[in-house]
Chain A
Amino acid sequence: MLEIARENLLLLKLCLVLLLIVPFSTLAFFFGGSVLSLCLSITEGLSEDRRGGHLAVDMVQGALLKKTLGFLLLVLVACTLFLTYLIYRPPLYDLAFWSACLAVLAAGIVAMYAYSYLLRNRQGLALPLVIGSSGIAFLTLALFLLFVGGALLLTPEKWPFLSSQPRLFFSWAGVAGFLQFLSLSLATTGTILILGYRYTPDSEVPAEGLQAGRSAPIFMVVGLLLWSPLVLFEIINLPDLALAPEIFGLFVVGTLLALVTCWLGFSFCLKPSPKPTILPLITLLGIFLCSALAHHLMRENILRPALTTFPTLPQVARPAEAAEPAAGAIPPPIPSAGETLFKRHCSVCHAFERRVVGPPLNSVLPRYKGGPDKLRAFVANPVKINPDYPSMPRLGLPEEDIRAITDWLLEER
């Protein structure tokens, strides 16, 4: 599996970006629609004259809360997590943690199904509201864990300490990402409601859903007005290394698209059209695209082996532990002066088994076995011997250092 992933890395990254746009924009409406539906249920109750509530509740419950969609969303989010692991393989928590996140998300989706079912079958208001509220709480928790957990990908310096210091899970960049999602979910819900709006100009009586349709641009505008400062807040809190000029460009384009979307929504509010307009939805999806691409570039900047490799950190010994070494423990050998000097001055060009800059020492040292003075004289005043190698420079080492090195090379090693 890992081999196949390595060979098709570019394709997998493309899939990941697409996965971040499609399910997360749908999840945004799922979440925003669920919250709106719950709010309308609370404010308008279940009375027959709730014109505005009908449209929102019907759209969310009838169209989006179809079982296949909820299940599909869960599968797609799981695929996103799996692809992220497959591409970058970050040592971030274990399977149990991410399974728990998905379980909370699944609990939220199931609770919203139950809420929808109870509301449709008129089983009173109290029980659906309790179940709906708990569903929203589950969805919020799952999204918080996913977004803040996802932001940890950009701070690899925290990884070695996450298990011992759980508070490191929290980051302002992650919170900004989560709040951006909430604001975009509000904007998406407003945009979809505009799409579902029906206006009959000949009738004096407002068509069903007119009120919700007219208030839809307000959700959209408020959501996008909240989104822009959150983007700036995220940029300020991102690690320097994650940033690149393209990322700033994408966020500027995203903000420009937010301006256009608001403008379109406002025009719709002033002059409702009998036909649903899809333009705000297209520009909103452009914002999701810009955001997904920018976050992808950030991950690409950070998740490289040069930045994410950590050797084991030494633990500082307590004074008592330091005084009493473990019974039977063999103390590490102390390098001789010759070995230390060799590592410092010679190992840069010479290895024993292979050619580095100079020849492998195992091939030249036998010549000097009987005559250390000859080797000392060569180190003090090198001359070119083998034309395949560059001349050895004169190191200017003191005589005692040369003696220590040659003794170690010829006698001790």
Chain B
Amino acid sequence: MGKILFKLFIAGFFSVFMLGISIAGWYWWTFDKTPPQPIAFKHSIHAGQLGMDCTYCHVFVDKSPEAGAPSLETCMTCHQNVAIDRPEVIKVRNAYFSKEPVVWERLHKLPDFIYFSHKRHIKAGVDCTHCHGVIKEMDEVRKVRPHKMGWCVTCHRGTGASTDCATCHK
């Protein structure tokens, strides 16, 4: 009886952890993995090969807390004529002509109690790559930094920026 119980305990114990790892995998796949975008916009072509400045599309990055996603009009300044036969560009043009907004998946979500301003960081001379990685080398943009308090405070300490609570928690 004792032997059977011990065997059952061993089997149950490891099964629980196999299940735990599988659940962790499911959670990561569902909630933490980079979601696919409705249009496979390649930063590696626009910011990389063409050398476009980030502010060309993210026009509010140095003017407001939010960097903002570009409007379809911005895309259409070039894609009126350029690469109009590409499948992903066709999606952009279809959305533009049908006046349907492209619902991009937001990657970097900060809680409501955090006040983060792109403008302040850009004005201070922080390069976009510090927080977003080398975007111009990415086909698909991924979240490359933890964007959690420990990471923010580490950088603020390292650069001599304010670590006062009210800086980020208004």
A248 CA / B78 CA spacing, docked (Å): 43
Residues of chain A from 311 to 344 with CB closer than 8 A to chain B in the complex: 311, 313-316, 318, 343-344
- A224-235 interface mask toward B, CB cutoff 8 Å, 1 = contact, 0 = none? 010011011001
- A161 to B78, Cβ gap below 8 A? no
* Count of A-B contacts judged by CB separation below 8 Å: 144
Task: Say yes or no: A165 contacts B80, CB within 8 Å.
Answer: no
Assess whether B144 is in contact with A307, with CB atoms less than 8 Å apart.
yes
Contact of B159 among A240, A256, A305, A313 (CB under 8 A): A313
Q: Which residues of A contact B130 (CB under 8 A)?
A: 310-311, 313
Chain B, interface residues (CB within 8 Å), range: 35 or more
Q: Across the interface, name the chain A residue whose C-beta is closest to B76.
A: A393
Task: Say yes or no for B56: interface residue by CB 8 A criterion.
Answer: yes
**How many chain A residues have a CB neighbour from B under 8 Å?**
57
| Binary A-proximity of B140-153 (CB < 8 A = 1, otherwise 0) | 00111110000100
Report if A130 contacts B (CB, 8 A): no
Chain A interface: which of B23-31, B86-94, B111-119?
B23-31
Per the bound structure, the CA–CA distance linking A118 and B135 in Å amounts to: 60
B110 CB → nearest A CB, Å: 15
Return the contact of B24 from the options A235, A258, A259, A311 (Cβ within 8 A).
A235
Interface centre among B17, B33, B55, B124 (most CB of A within 10 A): B17
- Cβ–Cβ < 8 Å partners of B95 in chain A: none
B17 to A263, Cβ gap below 8 A?
A: no
Q: With both chains docked as a complex, state the minimum distance between the C-beta of A82 and any C-beta of chain B, in angstroms.
A: 27
B39 adjacent to chain A (CB < 8 Å): no
Per-position 1/0 for A289-318, Cβ under 8 A of B: 000000000000000011101110111101
B144 touches which one: A235, A241, A263 (CB < 8 A)?
Answer: A241
Known: A241-B142, A307-B133. A393 touches B80 (CB 8 A): yes
B10 is an interface residue with CB less than 8 A from chain A = yes
A390 to B79, alpha carbons, bound, how many Å? Answer: 10
Given A235-B24, A344-B56, A395-B77, is A160 in contact with B158 using a C-beta cutoff of 8 Å? yes
Chain A interface main SS type? helix
Which of A9-17, A104-112, A349-357, A405-413 is the interface stretch?
A349-357
Residues of chain A contacted by B168 (CB below 8 angstroms): none
Q: Which residues of B pack against A, CB within 8 Å?
A: 3, 6-7, 10-11, 13-15, 17-18, 20-22, 24-25, 28-29, 32-33, 50-53, 55-56, 59, 76-78, 80-82, 124-127, 129-130, 133-135, 137-138, 142-146, 151, 154-155, 157-162
Subset of 5 A-B contacts with CB under 8 Å: A160-B158, A164-B157, A316-B160, A390-B81, A393-B77
